[in-house]
C-alpha cells in the first residue's frame, strides 16, 4: 500500500469517526450539544483536523443525513420485501418508515428538519436521498391508482408518514392508535 493510499484510508476513517461521534452525541443529547469543539474533544483530534473534513456543523449534519438516508432506504426495502402482496408491502413500508424515525430521532432530524446543506427534489440531489425516495416509490407506484402519477402519490404518502412520525414524536397524537393510523393511511390511500 502506498503512502497516498494509507493517508486516504486514514482520512476516510477520521471522517467516519466524526460522523459517528456527531450522530451518537446528537442521539444522546440533541443536536444543540453537537459542536465542533465537543466533537474535537470526543474524537481526540484538534478542531483544525475536524475542519479539514467538514467546514462546520452544517456539513456534519448533511453527512449524518446522507448516512441516515442510506440506512432508511435499506430498512424500507427490507420491510417491504418481507411482506406478501401490494397492500401488505405498503403497510410494512409504512411501519418500517415510522420505526426508523422513532429509533433514530436525531438522524431523522438531520434528514428532514435541520439544514444539512443538501438539495431535495432537484437534479443535484445526492444519491442516498434519491435512493431513499426510490425505496418508497418502488412499493407505492403499484398502489397509486389509475391516472395518478406514481411519484406524486409517493410524495403525498411520504408527507403523511412524515406527519405521523413528527406529530407522534412531539406527543401530539395519542400513542395507542399508531397501528390504526397506519391501517387507515394504507386503506384510504393505497388502491389495490
d(CA 139, CA 187): 15
d(CA 102, CA 120): 22
d(CA 189, CA 183): 10
Task: Quote the cell numbers at residue 31.
Answer: 443536536
Confidence of residue 192 (pLDDT cuts 50, 70, 90): low
Q: Is the pLDDT of residue 182 over 70?
A: yes
Question: What value does the mean pLDDT of the chain take?
Answer: 94
pTM over the 0.85 mark: yes
Q: Is the pLDDT of residue 1 over 80?
A: no
d(CA 62, CA 125): 12
Task: Quote the cell numbers at residue 121.
Answer: 427534489
Contact 79, 92 (CB under 8 A): yes
First to last CA, the chain: 55
| Nearest by Cα to 67 from 34, 40, 107 | 107
- Range scoring the smallest mean pLDDT among 89-98, 153-162, 179-188: 179-188
Q: Is the pLDDT of residue 10 over 80?
A: yes
Between helices 150-169 and 86-103, what is the axis angle to 10°?
40
84-134 pLDDT, tens digit per residue, is: 999 999 999 999 999 999 999 999 999 999 999 999 989 999 999 999 999
Q: What is the pLDDT of residue 39?
A: 94
Contact 31, 106 (CB under 8 A): yes
Mean of the pLDDT values across residues 146-165?
A: 95
Q: Is the pLDDT of residue 183 over 90?
A: yes
Task: Quote the cell numbers at residue 59.
Answer: 456539513
Q: What is the pLDDT of residue 3?
A: 86
Confidence of residue 15 (pLDDT cuts 50, 70, 90): very high
Q: In this predicted model, which residue has the larger pLDDT, 132 or 191?
A: 132
56-66 pLDDT, tens digit per residue, is: 999 999 999 99
Contact 157, 149 (CB under 8 A): no
Amino acid at each position: 500500500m502506498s503512502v497516498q493510499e494509507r493517508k486516504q484510508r486514514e482520512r476516510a476513517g477520521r471522517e467516519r469517526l466524526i460522523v459517528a461521534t456527531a450522530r451518537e452525541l446528537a442521539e444522546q443529547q440533541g443536536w444543540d450539544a453537537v459542536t465542533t469543539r465537543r466533537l474535537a474533544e470526543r474524537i481526540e483530534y484538534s478542531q483544525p483536523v475536524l475542519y479539514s473534513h467538514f467546514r462546520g456543523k452544517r456539513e456534519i449534519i448533511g453527512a449524518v443525513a446522507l448516512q441516515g438516508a442510506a440506512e432508511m432506504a435499506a430498512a424500507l426495502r427490507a420491510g417491504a420485501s418481507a411482506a406478501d402482496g401490494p397492500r401488505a408491502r405498503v403497510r410494512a413500508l409504512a411501519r418500517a418508515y415510522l420505526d426508523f424515525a422513532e429509533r433514530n430521532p436525531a438522524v431523522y432530524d438531520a434528514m428532514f428538519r435541520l439544514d444539512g446543506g443538501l438539495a431535495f427534489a432537484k437534479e443535484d440531489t445526492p444519491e442516498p436521498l434519491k435512493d431513499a425516495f426510490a425505496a418508497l416509490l418502488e412499493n407505492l407506484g403499484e398502489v397509486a391508482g389509475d391516472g395518478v402519477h406514481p411519484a406524486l402519490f409517493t410524495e403525498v404518502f411520504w408527507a403523511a408518514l412524515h406527519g405521523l412520525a413528527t406529530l407522534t414524536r412531539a406527543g401530539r397524537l395519542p400513542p395507542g392508535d399508531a397501528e390504526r393510523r397506519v391501517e387507515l393511511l394504507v386503506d384510504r390511500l393505497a388502491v389495490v
